[in-house]
Structure formats: C-alpha cells, structure tokens
C-alpha cells in the first residue's frame, strides 16, 4: 500500500471560459469539481496505475462532505481525519483561447491541537501497512511549520520510505529530517538554497539532508541528484495544454516506480511521461492514458554525472 498525506485538502473547482478578460463579466462554459490537494491528486494517478493507495489528511464542513462524496467511487481509500472547519476550495479558470489557467487558492481550515493529535494517531497506524508515503502540499492554518519534519521522522522510525513535496519553510525544516526523496520545482529549490542553477541547487539540497532530490524543470523535464548518480529526463517534444496536476503526476510516477523496484532511469522516464500526459489531458489533473503509453518509451534519460 502507498500512503499519501494531504494536510490541506481542497475541493478543486474548474471554470472554462472562451477568453479570460480582466475587469469584465464572463459566461462559464463548463464547470467541474473533483477532490483535490496535492496528495489526493497523486493518489488518483496511483489508483489509475493499479496501485493500492490510501489518502489521509484533514477534511471538514460542507465542502469536505462534497469532497468525500466525490472521492468515494475512486480507487484511493479514504482515511481522512475530520476537523470542525470547512475544507478549502481552489478555483481554476481555464481560458480556451490561450489554454492558460488562472488559479485561486483558499487558505484552508484552522486545525486545533486535538485535531492534529488525532491525525498523528491515524498516520502512525497507517504507516504500519505502508510501502511508501508521500507528504504533499501546503499546511493549513494552525499546523506548526515543522509538521512535515515531524512526519518524516515518524516515517523513518517506522522504516517507511518517505517523499516530501512542499515548499518554503516547511520544505526547509522537512529536509533537515532527512526524507528519502524531495521533489521541488526549480523556483522552490532556488528559494531553499539561494542557487538558481538547478544542478548546484539540488546538490546543496542533498547536503541539507535529502537522500535524493528530483527537481522539476517544467517543460524541460526532471533533474535527479541521487546517491546512485545524476540524470536529466526530458519529454520527446514540447507540448501545450493545462499543466495543472502535472507535478503531482510526476510524484505518482516516482512512487509507483519505487514500489515496483525500478531503477532511477526507469523511475524518471515514468514520471516525465505521466507528467506530460497530464498536460495533454482534456480534464485538469488527469492523465491521458494513450499519450502516456506512447510517450513512455520516448522519454530521454541521460546521465549527468557520477553518484552525488
């Protein structure tokens, strides 16, 4: 079983308009809702790949009820922890004329000390059956900034491989707890280390405590700096589409390949193919299965250096 943690779950609402024009009124062509937050996105992709997956984190209020109803028929199993506050919404506005998406993210519910303690009990129980765990996304109000570092330490004590995908101070503190893998994008990596050059920044992130660093380079693919070597992986060609959820699909690719025992080139090829297939999918945050199958053997994975 693969466990994903989304402390700040969301109900993702997507509006599609012909053209997004500031300071004007719009007629919405399509509206869609889906359970969201980075870890839930990862879990949906893992489920589509056939992996047994459990989701946990916080959920509450009327919005949380809608989220759980939407999650119920999907493959990931629901082990979310209830809170008194209302789960946040994220609003994505997709412009048909350009393909661009504008995102508005609410902050999330206030989480109490008692609710955090209840989550920790659930998390420790779930780790007992987990082959790997992904800690994903932002922290809701009320959760201390070192929360991910605490969760990394608990996973390591249970001998469960842990992937961390967050940003800012939670990433800085989480890396110090020595996760097995972190997956920042280039901007998050630069903010963490002060270095703009991805290879130098990833090396610095490893020295700060991460066992392996997978840096997302956007349409250019991924850079991996690991104890076994350094690689760059890129899609066969640039694609246009909606990038929403592409990074989460990359995390799902890395986790699924880890669970299946693939080597680093195999993990990176799967992550890049899934990420690219997500950009090409008609629905935000989903991946195009046919595109994924066609892309996977064509992803370029090249060695970029010896073991770090």
Question: Judging by beta carbons within 10 Å of its beta carbon (0-12, 13-18, 19+), is residue 107 exposed, middle or buried?
Answer: exposed
DSSP code of residue 22: T
For residue 11 the two structure tokens come to 């109900």
Catalytic residue, candidates 78, 248, 263, 288: 248
DSSP, collapsed to helix, strand or coil, labels residue 258 as helix
Structure letter (DSSP) for residue 128: T
Rg (CA), the chain: 19
d(CA 33, CA 299): 32
187 is catalytic: no
Instruction: Classify the phi-psi angles of 245: left when phi > 0, otherwise alpha if psi is within -120 to 50, otherwise beta.
Output: left
Task: Give yes or no for a contact between 10 and 105, defined as CB atoms under 8 angstroms apart.
Answer: yes
Q: Which residues are catalytic?
A: 248
């Amino acid at each position: 079983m693969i466990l994903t943690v989304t402390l700040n779950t969301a109900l993702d609402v997507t509006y599609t308009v012909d053209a997004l024009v500031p300071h004007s009124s719009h007629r919405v062509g399509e509206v869609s809702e889906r359970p969201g937050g980075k870890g839930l996105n990862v879990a949906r992709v893992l489920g589509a790949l056939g992996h047994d997956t459990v989701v946990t984190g916080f959920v509450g209020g009327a919005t949380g009820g809608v989220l759980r109803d939407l999650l119920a028929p999907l493959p990931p199993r629901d082990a979310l922890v209830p809170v008194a506050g209302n789960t946040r919404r994220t609003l994505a506005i997709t412009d048909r004329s350009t393909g661009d998406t504008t995102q508005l993210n609410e902050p999330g519910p206030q989480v109490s000390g008692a609710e955090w303690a209840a989550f920790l009990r659930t998390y420790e129980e779930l780790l007992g059956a987990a082959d790997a765990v992904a800690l994903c996304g932002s922290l809701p109000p009320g959760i201390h900034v070192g929360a991910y570092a605490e969760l990394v330490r608990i996973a390591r004590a249970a001998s469960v491989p842990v992937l961390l995908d967050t940003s800012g101070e939670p990433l800085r503190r989480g890396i110090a707890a020595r996760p097995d893998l972190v997956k920042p994008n280039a901007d998050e990596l630069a903010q963490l280390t002060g270095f703009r050059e991805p290879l130098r920044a990833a090396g610095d992130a490893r020295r700060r405590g991460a066992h392996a660093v997978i840096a997302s380079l956007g349409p250019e693919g991924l850079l991996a700096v690991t104890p076994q070597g350094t690689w760059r992986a890129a899609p066969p060609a640039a694609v246009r589409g909606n990038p929403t959820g592409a990074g989460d699909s990359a995390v799902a690719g890395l986790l699924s390949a880890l669970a299946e025992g693939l080597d680093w080139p195999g993990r990176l090829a799967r992550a890049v193919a899934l990420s690219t297939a997500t950009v090409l999918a008609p629905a935000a945050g989903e991946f195009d299965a046919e595109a994924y199958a066609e892309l996977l053997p064509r992803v370029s994975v090249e060695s970029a250096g010896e073991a770090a």
